[in-house]
Every structure is written in structure tokens, then in C-alpha cells.
Amino acid sequence: MENKVIRDNNGRFAKGSHASVGTQFKGGHEVIGGYKKGHEGWNKGTKQREYCMDCGKEVTPYMNVKRCHSCGGKKSMSNPETKKIIRAKVWDKVSEFRKGKSFKEIFGDKSEDMIKKRTKKMKKLYSEGKLVPWNKGKTSEEDSRINEKENHPMWNGGTSFEPYDKTWTIKLRSAIRKRDNQVCMNCGIHREKLKKALCVHHIDYDKKLSIPQNCISLCQPCHSLTNSNREYWTKLLQDKLTQSYNYIYEEGKSVITMKEN
């Protein structure tokens, strides 16, 4: 006796009008396609494998993929037009978004874990020899970049080698940290969450001007950010002290100098 199939107005099977395959073929009857119960397909347990045509890494066989994710990205970036489009759409926007922000401001509470994981990964790569410093084992005669300090974008005339003045004391640094409530004035992290004491930064990068109006507490990640774009950080950090302690500063040509009250 044939099952009478009834469909509703939407073309779907009406409830109870047909039996499922499991119900219809109980008792060892043949199922659709001629397969019997317990039949195994010829390719059961096998896996279709595809490999990257550049590096040989196994890739997912999908939509005729010929390269892995890494090699595919390198291939795309080798095209100047594609690189130009990606730079305009992605890199410039990311750079503008990250400008002047600390690692924690960008990635939030996950920032500390991300730094730990990245540091651990880099140490492993260095220890295994998969990552080698560009200047390892080289001398100035072999690579002229080693002594080309003046051509480096972050070179500031060797000011980092200049000595501090006599007022740069432990007592002064402790007073600055206490004034700032043991908090990084850029990202807001407290000393209790750090392994090291807060850095005391000279806002206008003048080591011989060690006064409270020119010093500010920063955590190590934020302090490292101040090594570039110095005019921006000078203005930003002075604005923070103005808001917190009513310090008054006067704008100059390249460096903002303090104005006495």
C-alpha cells in the first residue's frame, strides 16, 4: 500500500502524511539508493587533502584553495595595487585609532595576558633559532645601519646618554609618584597591579629640568610610547597635569615650556 503524501499550502509535508526513512525502512528493508543497513561507503574514514602550493602546509579543501592563509596574504601584498588599497582601508585606520593610546586602552583587560603570551612566544622563537635579530653577529663594517644613528627616525641627538641634574633624586621621584596617587597618569593602572615601580617621565624630555611641573608618573608600557611623536606626548601629558593640578604652561615652537603662576 502506497503512502499518501499530503502537502499544505506552503508546499511542506502535512503532519502525519509521510514516514521518515528510519520509520519507513525498519525491519531490514532496503533504503533509498539501494544501501542496506550496515553498509559502509567506499570513502568512509578517508580525508580529502590539499596542500599549499608555496609552503606545502595542509589546507582545507574548500573553493579550490591553493594557498594557506599566510602565503595567500603574502601573494596579495606582492601586488602594489592591492597593497595600496589595503593600506588605505586598514593600516591607516588602525594606525590612527592606536595613535596616542596605551596597549591597555586598545585591548582592555586582556592586554596583560596578551603581552605575556606574546613575550613567551617571542622567547621561544629566539631560543629555537627561528627568529634572529637583524644585527646578530654583524659589525659596523658589514652593515652600515649599525652606526647610522642620525638617520634613525627616533634619534634625538643622543639625549638619552646625557646625565641628570642634581635634583633628580629618589626623594623627588617618590614625591611625584605619591602626588599622582601611585597611578599611571596615561592609562590609569595602579602600582599594586604592576611588578615594578612607576616610571617618572620628563614631559619635555629635558633631564636637567627635574621639577614637579615637568615630571609625571607612567607605567612601563606607556613610558615606552613616549619615545616617538614627542611633541604630541609633551602636549598631552602637560594637559593632564593642568587638569589634575592646575599647572599652567605656555606653548612654544616645538617644546612647551612652563609658565610660572
- C-alpha 236/C-alpha 230 separation (Å) is 10
Please provide the average confidence, as pLDDT, over all residues in the chain: 75
Q: Would you say residue 12 lies in a domain? A: no
Q: Are residues 91 and 168 in the same domain?
A: no
Residues 6+ apart with CB under 8 A from 169: none
Q: Are residues 167 and 87 in the same domain?
A: no
Q: Is 220's pLDDT higher than 60?
A: yes
Which one of 58, 73, 98 terminates a domain?
98
The range of the structural domain enclosing residue 87 comes to: 50-98
Q: Would you say residue 63 lies in a domain? A: yes
| pLDDT per position as a tens digit, 164-196 | 888 999 999 999 999 999 999 999 999 999 888
Q: Would you say residue 252 lies in a domain? A: yes
HEC profile of 52-77: CCCCCCEECCCCCCCCCHHHHHHHHH
- C-alpha 73/C-alpha 9 separation (Å) is 50
Q: What is the pLDDT of residue 25?
A: 46
Q: What's the total number of domains in the chain?
A: 2
Which one of 67, 83, 98 terminates a domain?
98
Q: Are residues 246 and 169 in the same domain?
A: yes
Q: What is the mean pLDDT of residues 217-224?
A: 91
| pLDDT per position as a tens digit, 10-59 | 556 556 555 554 444 444 444 445 556 666 776 666 666 778 877 778 87
Q: Are residues 165 and 239 in the same domain?
A: yes
Q: Would you say residue 91 lies in a domain? A: yes
Percent of the chain clearing pLDDT 90 (strictly above)? 20
